[in-house]
Amino acid sequence: MNKSTKFRTFEDLECWQACRELRIFAAKVCKELPKEEEYRLKDQILRSARSTTANTAEGYGRFHYQENIQYCRNARGSAYEVLDHFITGVDENLVPEDALSQCRILVEKSVKLLNGYIRYLESKKGRG
């Protein structure tokens, strides 16, 4: 996107992009889960992974700093929930260790960027 472009969307947020990477990765891993996990672990992973991007987008659309911050905190919590589900998957021999390692990297990146965006919003909140 050209920096001079005035209209920006949630898709331009690095934190949303990182959460999207996490969501896509989680969906890919879920395709490999056994059929009997369709409405158990698979459903939980997909819901929490989708929540990371959805909450970031919804917060962006609120146009109020404090509400945006809260939705980003929800997205951060959902990212950690994805990680917990992957740990459960490894513990129950449903998810390979290397997938958990990759999940940790993606969650760490998402959380780091969400924390940075939250700090940015908090700094703007006092001014606007």
pLDDT in tens, 54-72: 999 999 999 899 999 999 9
Query: Coil, strand or helix: which one is 35?
Result: helix
Residue ranges of the alpha helices (H) in the chain? 14-30, 41-62, 65-91, 97-125
DSSP classification of residue 94: S
Of the ranges 1-10, 13-22, 106-115, 118-127, which one carries the lowest mean pLDDT score? 1-10
Closest CA to 118 of 44, 43, 63, 59: 59
CA distance 71 to 117: 11
pLDDT in tens, 82-109: 999 999 999 999 999 999 999 999 999 9
Domains of the chain, with CATH numbers? 34-125 (1.20.1440.60)
pLDDT in tens, 16-35: 999 999 999 999 999 999 99
Contact 19, 110 (CB under 8 A): yes
Contact 85, 41 (CB under 8 A): yes
State the pLDDT confidence band at 128, using cuts at 50, 70 and 90: low
Q: b/e map of 13-30 (b: 16 or more CB within 10 Å)?
A: bebbbbbbbbbebbeebb
